[in-house]
Each structure stands twice: as C-alpha cells, then as structure tokens.
C-alpha cells in the first residue's frame, strides 16, 4: 500500500534494476555448469502496476509500458556472486523525483519476461535484520586494512567515507584471515574458481572473489552499501581508502529472509547456549529465497542440506511459507521422467544421480521430506494434495531405476569421517521415499496407493536386511557409526540390542567422538532420544577436541563449518548441515514434540542429561505457545509447562517409579510409570509440576 507515500500534485515512481539470478554472468560453476544453460535468463526487466481506487468507487491502473523512461545509473556492474561496483559520479540528483533531468532518458522497451505462472511471494522478504558493528581494524600492508566484524554472517558492508571525487574504495570479503593477518578469501570465492585452480570459461574472472567497490563523488561524507548482491563474511579487506578508516566508518548489514522467531532455548551449560547462538547465525545466513548451503561460495538450495536441518529450522523459525516455496522449487524442476534434481532451482549440478539431471537419492528426498514436515508441524494437508502427482511420478522413476529392488550408489552420508556405506545409505533413502509415499497416500485416502507403497517399503526393508545385516552380530554393512545409526533410525535391525552395542563400541573406538556425516548426525540424536539414552547424545554434543561442535567453537567459529575439520581452503565456514543438533535441544532437552499434525496433540518429554541442572524454552506452534521450563533442585524435578488452547498433551514427568507427582500443588491421579517417567494427559493451560527425581 503506497497511499502514505503520495503527495499532492505530481508523483513519481522510480525503480532501480539489478541483475540478480535473472541475468548471471557467463561463468561456469566449478568450471562445468553455466547458469545461463540451465535457467531462464535475460536482461533486467520490470513488470509492475499501480492500482488506484478512488472514493467514488472507480479504479485506475498505471502499468509499466513504453511510456516509462529509462537511463543508466551509478551501478556499473553487479552480480550476486561477485559483488557490486558503484560510481557515485554517475548519480543523477533527484532521479526519482519531479526534479529529475530527463534529457538523457529514453522510453522503455517492451520485452518478453520470464515464462511460467506469476504468483504472490509466499516467503518473507529479505531485509536488513541486524546491524553488525566492527570490532577491530588492522593495517596489514600499505593501503590495505582488515576489518574484523567479530561475527561471520551474510550481508554487505556499509561505509562512511570522505575524499576526492574519483577515488575508488574496494571491499573484498572473507570468512577468516591467514597467519600473516591478510584476508583468507579461499572459502568464499565462487565455486572454488581461483588463480591456479578451477577456470570458469571465457569472460569469467581468474579469481571469482566477493568484491565491491565505490567510487567517490567528492561531496562530503558519503554513505554507501551495495543493493544487488550479498556476501558471506566476517572480515572485510579495504583498499583505496582516503586516509585510515575508523571503526565507526564500517558496519555490517546482516541480510536474511525476515523470518518470525518460533523457538527459544537456553540451559545451564553455557557451551550449548553458545552453540545455539552460532547455529541461529548460521541458519539466518542461509535463507535468501532458498535455504542455501552457504552464503558465499555457492548460495544454492541443495536437497540434502534441507533434509538434515528442516526440523531444526522449524523449531527456531516460522518456516511454513518458506518451505512451501522450497517444495514448489523442486516441483518446478521435476524432470519429465519424474526424477528430482539435486538442487532447486536447478543449476546443472547432478552429482551421482540416476540419469539426466536427476540428483542422488538423499538429495531427491527433500521433495517429499519437506512436505512431511509441513504436514507434521503446520498441519498443511494442501501441500500433500497439490504435490501428490509429483510424488507418484518420482516413485515411478525410482522404481524404474532400482536394480534387484535396491540402489547401489549415492553421495551418501556427506562429510562422514569413516568410510561411507554408500550403497546401504542409497537403499535406505529409497526405503524412506517409499514409506513417505505410503504415508501421503494414506493421509489423502488413496487406499490402493497406500497399500502398494507400503508393500514396496516392506520389500525394500527385507532386501536391505538380507543384503546388509551380518546375522547374529547386529552389524550392518561396514559397521561404522553411520551404518549402525542408519539401521537403528530406519528400524531395520531385528537384533536391535546387538546393533546398538556395535554403535556403542564404535563410539568407544572413537574415544567418545562421532565420525558421522550430515545424515547420521541428525539421526543419532533421534536414536538416542527414542531409546532413552540422552546421556550418550549429551556426551557427544559437549565433548571437546576433534571432531565435534565444541572443536569448532574452541577454534573461534561464530557460524558452523561445512566440515568437522577446520576449513581453510575450499569448504565454507558458514554451513547449516551440522546444525541439526538444534532439533535435539527442543525435542530432547526441552521435550517438545508433535503428537499429531500441527501440534493438536503434544508430547512433552524432557530428557535431563549430563550435568544439566536446568533448561527452558518454548515453541510457537500453529496452535499457540508451548513452554517447557525445568530445573533439578536436590532430588526434586520442578517443571513449568504451557499447553496452548484446544490441544492436549501427553506429559512425561521424570520421576522415581511409583512416587507422588504434584500438579499445581495437588497430587496427580491416573498416572502410569514407564522408563523413569510418570505419564499423564493434560489439557490446555499453564501447570507447575513437582516430582521426586534422582538421576541414575
């Protein structure tokens, strides 16, 4: 609504256009894939209209057409990957006012825009969501300064500078510095394109670093920040500055989708609180119309990255519309044979897929998995209905590619430290697709399909057990942590206790550290939660040394790394994948879980672990706020909970078997005791619960 912007008399509407993803430079990603070959592209263009409703009931529409005027602006070039270059001498004073000098302006030309169906933007707009103040500036070479923002994040720098017209200030961005204090740009250059390494084809820069520049107009203090790019960075290298920049001359504009906060968490372990903060910075660095892998090097919507962090994102932020759009991205890219791409929107990358541009199974899983979480967390049945035909087409494709009823290659458990059980994980992902298809068919009342896919999933499971279980040992495939976790998470093992013991032996072999990749890390926390073994999860989460989250924090990480090992050259230092641990904060430590779609029924089951003495937090469900605030006082467990209106909760109170539990001061009746919990059902309201509790 632009009513408040109007003034009496003549009004002017002005628009600045940038390239965005619509007009990428001819650069081959990783030296292989040119976005112009895989996406619709064109010169920047505009489609807009102003709708005016008059008091007498009449209406008028002012559309973009050939009556509009155009002129070059001060932005000389811009790229979402490479940065923006701005020459303030080319600014036209009052260009978007009635005072504009239109001598050099020309009529706009009509062009054909992108094809497809124009729909309203579902997800929140990208905005400046935080101002980040610089904490340190050092001169590392003549005319070269390094600004430390103190925090890795996604966005741009804003500068305040005064100097002579024609002076150019250059800003180059990186996530770290080298031993000599100079900028380490290696982890943020576009898809590893650099001098002496990957070449990106004709017209591409030798090193595709993130770099902005500003040419002064010489008019007092000039304030500028880029409009049509974003970077991933903690450090800014400045050259060409007139004099010496001060801390107040440089600040960071954190950019992200303006997501509403959904969850809060804190506990008595400051290391976990710090990790929680680092995870949220990482998540917000990777929500720019797609949930990306990293905000610097690639900026792409990889399917597996979403699968392993969807739940964690949802517990922290309202992702109801963001993920609806992500599902649509995958649906839009579905191939004629039914295959799903590794990345959506598709950029050409199809690593270890199953023909054409289809992706590997763990990455294809994003299409159905996102739908399941939209249903479980938000009760969004419509997303299942509108995409069911696509699920059927994907299942037909996968069944046509199976060999002896299974799959035999995949990227697998990406970033695992032990050898990957690649074929086993590929078949596990196939099973996952089948059980989701069966579930969706059941929800939608498609009984024949439900039976068909249930039978398929049973057949896949039997084939997996037959091929990968070593009978009598509980060991699956190569018996690594990841292999055992896959078997336990998917419920493959008929020898569950033995399979769990193999897993525990593997943890012991690694001296309490994990060796898992992105999938089995997420699964590990679920396995421990479901088996009431949260102390194991807690130990893994808090152990120091390599590998682990504390290893990252001890080495100064302010966002999560792509790899367990410190990334210096190629992997990024701002990657959400291992942020799946945040889901554990809510599901296990706070104990907040959906018991029915959209939290119409809630399961509250906190699992105190390690040396934790308290934890508190909440989740803003579609039904309302769910709160969980507990502490251990001697041999008492004190727990305050909030259950939103029109819901019920199955409440699991940590308690000694048969001991009294008080709810709002009165002894609770009709309790049952199981596995160290007193269990009751409560309706909506706020409750104060006290139980006798002693951690074994």
Query: pLDDT value at position 524?
Result: 98
624 — alpha (psi -120 to 50), left (phi > 0) or beta? left
Q: Can you tell me the distance from the alpha carbon of 425 to that of 307, in angstroms, rounded to the nearest whole number? A: 14
Mean pLDDT of the chain: 96
Per the CB < 8 A criterion, the answer to whether 453 and 447 are in contact is no
Q: Can you tell me the distance from the alpha carbon of 215 to that of 230, in angstroms, rounded to the nearest whole number? A: 19
What is the average pLDDT across 149-163? Answer: 98
In percent, how much of the chain has pLDDT > 90? Answer: 94
Q: Can you tell me the distance from the alpha carbon of 411 to that of 421, in angstroms, rounded to the nearest whole number? A: 10
Q: Can you tell me the distance from the alpha carbon of 180 to that of 194, in angstroms, rounded to the nearest whole number? A: 20
Residue range 459-473, pLDDT digits in tens: 999 999 999 999 999
Query: pLDDT value at position 482?
Result: 98
3-state secondary structure of 221: coil
Locate 234 and state its tokens.
């903690």
Query: pLDDT value at position 269?
Result: 98
Residue range 289-343, pLDDT digits in tens: 999 999 999 999 999 999 999 999 999 999 999 999 999 999 999 999 999 999 9
Q: Can you tell me the distance from the alpha carbon of 565 to that of 567, in angstroms, rounded to the nearest whole number? A: 6
Q: Can you tell me the distance from the alpha carbon of 667 to that of 681, in angstroms, rounded to the nearest whole number? A: 14
Q: Can you tell me the distance from the alpha carbon of 370 to that of 377, in angstroms, rounded to the nearest whole number? A: 11
Q: Is the pLDDT of residue 696 over 80?
A: no
Q: Is the pLDDT of residue 568 over 90?
A: no
Instruction: Tell how strand 211-215 and strand 83-87 pair up.
Output: parallel
Q: N- to C-terminal Cα distance for the chain? A: 61
Q: What are phi and psi of 74, to 5 degrees?
A: -80, -10
Query: pLDDT value at position 122?
Result: 86
pLDDT band, very low/low/confident/very high, at 101 (cuts 50, 70, 90) = confident
Locate 660 and state its tokens.
């009294």
Query: pLDDT value at position 570?
Result: 86
Question: Any idea which residue has 């699956």 for tokens?
Answer: 476
Locate 327 and state its tokens.
């599902």
pLDDT band, very low/low/confident/very high, at 375 (cuts 50, 70, 90) = very high
Residue range 477-487, pLDDT digits in tens: 999 999 999 99
Locate 1 and state its tokens.
């609504």
Distances (CA, A) of 468 to 420, 422, 474: 14, 12, 10
**Cα Rg of the chain, angstroms:** 28
Q: What angle do CA 364, 369, 374 make, to 5 degrees?
A: 140
Q: Can you tell me the distance from the alpha carbon of 4 to that of 504, in angstroms, rounded to the nearest whole number? A: 64
The string of DSSP codes covering 294-343 is -TTTT---BHHHHHHHHHHHHHHB--HHHHHHHHHHHHHH--TTS--BSB
- Count of CB atoms within 10 A of residue 28's CB? 20
What is the average pLDDT across 391-398? Answer: 98
Query: pLDDT value at position 242?
Result: 97
Q: Can you tell me the distance from the alpha carbon of 571 to that of 562, in angstroms, rounded to the nearest whole number? A: 6
Residue range 669-691, pLDDT digits in tens: 889 999 999 999 999 999 999 99
Cα four-point dihedral sign 13, 14, 20, 25: positive
Question: Any idea which residue has 């699968």 for tokens?
Answer: 307
392 — alpha (psi -120 to 50), left (phi > 0) or beta? alpha
Q: Can you tell me the distance from the alpha carbon of 282 to that of 289, in angstroms, rounded to the nearest whole number? A: 15
The residues that bridge with 536 in the sheet, in sequence order, are: none
3-state secondary structure of 164: coil
- Count of CB atoms within 10 A of residue 488's CB? 25
Q: What are phi and psi of 107, to 5 degrees?
A: -65, 145
Q: Can you tell me the distance from the alpha carbon of 350 to that of 334, in angstroms, rounded to the nearest whole number? A: 13
Q: Can you tell me the distance from the alpha carbon of 330 to that of 306, in angstroms, rounded to the nearest whole number? A: 12
Question: Any idea which residue has 């990345």 for tokens?
Answer: 343
The string of DSSP codes covering 533-589 is -HHHHHHHHH--SSSSHHHHHHTT-SS--SSSS--SSSS-S---GGGGHHHHIIIII
3-state secondary structure of 449: helix
Q: Biggest alpha carbon distance in the chain?
A: 88
In percent, how much of the chain has pLDDT > 70? Answer: 100
Residue range 192-218, pLDDT digits in tens: 999 989 999 888 899 999 999 999 999
Q: How many CA atoms lie within 13 A of 28 on its CB side?
A: 11
Instruction: Tell how strand 144-161 and strand 28-29 pair up.
Output: unpaired
Residue range 602-658, pLDDT digits in tens: 999 999 999 999 999 999 999 999 999 999 999 999 999 999 999 999 999 999 998
Give how far the C-alpha of residue 551 lies from the chain's centroid of Cα atoms, to the nearest Å.
22
Q: Can you tell me the distance from the alpha carbon of 256 to that of 153, in angstroms, rounded to the nearest whole number? A: 10
Give how far the C-alpha of residue 58 lies from the chain's centroid of Cα atoms, to the nearest Å.
46
Query: pLDDT value at position 365?
Result: 98
Smallest Cα–Cα separation from 436: which of 498, 362, 371? 371
Distances (CA, A) of 99 to 68, 96, 104, 219, 645: 16, 8, 14, 19, 57
Smallest Cα–Cα separation from 647: which of 606, 679, 603, 605? 603
3-state secondary structure of 149: strand
Tell me which of 15-29, 141-155, 258-272, 620-634 is least confident: 15-29
What is the average pLDDT across 353-370? Answer: 95
Q: Can you tell me the distance from the alpha carbon of 678 to that of 244, in angstroms, rounded to the nearest whole number? A: 66
Locate 110 and state its tokens.
């009509």
Residue range 3-40, pLDDT digits in tens: 999 999 999 999 999 999 999 988 999 999 999 999 99
Residue range 46-80, pLDDT digits in tens: 999 999 999 999 999 999 999 999 999 999 999 99
Let me know how long the chain is: 696
Per the CB < 8 A criterion, the answer to whether 598 and 377 are in contact is yes
């Amino acid at each position: 609504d632009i009513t408040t912007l109007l003034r009496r008399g003549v009004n002017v509407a002005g628009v600045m256009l940038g390239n965005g993803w619509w007009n990428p430079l001819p650069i081959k990603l990783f030296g292989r894939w040119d976005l112009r070959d895989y996406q619709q592209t064109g010169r920047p263009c505009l489609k807009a209209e102003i709708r005016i409703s008059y008091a007498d009931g009449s209406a008028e529409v002012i559309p973009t057409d050939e009556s509009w005027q155009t002129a070059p602006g001060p932005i000389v070039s811009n790229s979402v990957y490479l940065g923006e270059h701005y020459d303030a001498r080319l600014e036209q004073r009052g260009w978007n006012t009635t005072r504009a000098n239109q001598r050099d302006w020309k009529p706009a030309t009509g062009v054909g825009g992108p094809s497809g169906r124009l729909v309203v933007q579902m997800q929140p707009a990208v905005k400046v969501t935080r101002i980040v103040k610089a904490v340190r500036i050092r001169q590392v070479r003549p005319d070269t300064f390094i600004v430390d923002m103190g925090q890795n994040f996604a966005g741009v720098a804003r500068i305040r500078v005064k100097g002579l017209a024609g002076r150019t200030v250059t800003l180059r961005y990186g996530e770290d510095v080298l031993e000599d204090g100079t900028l380490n740009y290696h982890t943020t250059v576009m898809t590893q394109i650099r001098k002496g390494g990957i070449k990106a084809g004709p017209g591409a820069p030798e090193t595709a670093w993130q770099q902005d520049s500003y040419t002064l107009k010489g008019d007092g203090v000039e304030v500028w920040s880029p409009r049509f790019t974003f970077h991933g960075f903690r450090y800014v290298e400045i050259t060409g500055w007139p004099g010496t920049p001060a801390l107040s001359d440089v600040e960071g504009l954190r950019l992200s989708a303006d997501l509403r906060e959904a969850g809060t968490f804190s506990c008595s372990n400051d290391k976990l609180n710090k990790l929680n903060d680092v995870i949220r910075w990482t998540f917000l660095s990777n929500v720019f119309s797609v949930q990306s892998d990293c905000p610097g090097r690639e900026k792409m919507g990889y399917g597996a990255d979403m699968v392993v962090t969807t739940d964690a994102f949802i517990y922290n932020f309202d992702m109801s519309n963001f993920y609806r759009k992500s599902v649509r991205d995958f649906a839009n890219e579905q191939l004629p044979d039914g295959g799903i791409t590794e990345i959506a929107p598709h950029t050409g990358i199809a690593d270890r897929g199953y023909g054409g541009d289809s992706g590997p199974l763990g990455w294809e899983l994003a299409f159905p998995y996102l739908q399941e979480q939209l249903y479980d967390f938000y009760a969004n049945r419509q997303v299942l209905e509108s995409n069911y035909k696509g699920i059927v087409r994907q299942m037909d494709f996968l069944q046509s590619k199976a060999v002896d009823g299974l799959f035999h290659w995949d990227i697998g458990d990406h970033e695992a430290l032990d050898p990957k059980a690649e074929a086993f994980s590929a078949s596990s992902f196939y099973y996952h697709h089948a059980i989701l298809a069966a579930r969706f068919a059941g929800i939608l009342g498609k009984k024949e399909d439900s039976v068909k896919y249930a039978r398929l999933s049973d057949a896949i499971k039997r084939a997996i057990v037959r091929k990968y279980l070593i009978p009598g040992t509980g060991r699956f495939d190569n018996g690594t942590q990841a292999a055992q976790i896959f078997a336990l998470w998917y419920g493959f093992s008929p020898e569950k206790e033995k399979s769990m013991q193999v897993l525990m032996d593997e943890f012991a072999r690694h001296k309490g550290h994990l060796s898992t990749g992105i999938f089995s890390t997420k699964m590990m926390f679920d396995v421990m939660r479901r088996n009431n073994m949260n102390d194991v999860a807690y130990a893994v989460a808090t152990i120091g040394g390599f590998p682990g989250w504390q290893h990252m924090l001890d080495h100064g990480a302010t966002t999560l790394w792509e790899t367990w090992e410190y990334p210096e050259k190629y992997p990024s230092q701002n990657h959400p994948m291992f942020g799946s641990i945040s889901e554990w904060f809510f599901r296990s430590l706070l104990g907040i879980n959906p018991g029915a779609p959209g939290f119409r029924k809630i399961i509250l089951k906190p699992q105190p672990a390690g040396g934790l003495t308290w934890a508190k937090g909440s989740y803003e469900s579609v039904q309302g706020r769910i709160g969980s605030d507990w502490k251990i006082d001697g041999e008492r467990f004190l727990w305050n909970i909030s259950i939103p209106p029109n819901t019920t909760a199955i409440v699991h109170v940590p308690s000694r078997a048969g001991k009294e539990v008080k709810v709002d001061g009165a002894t609770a009746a009709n309790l049952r005791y199981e596995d160290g919990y007193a269990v009751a059902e409560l309706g909506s309201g706020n409750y104060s619960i006290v139980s006798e509790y002693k951690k074994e």
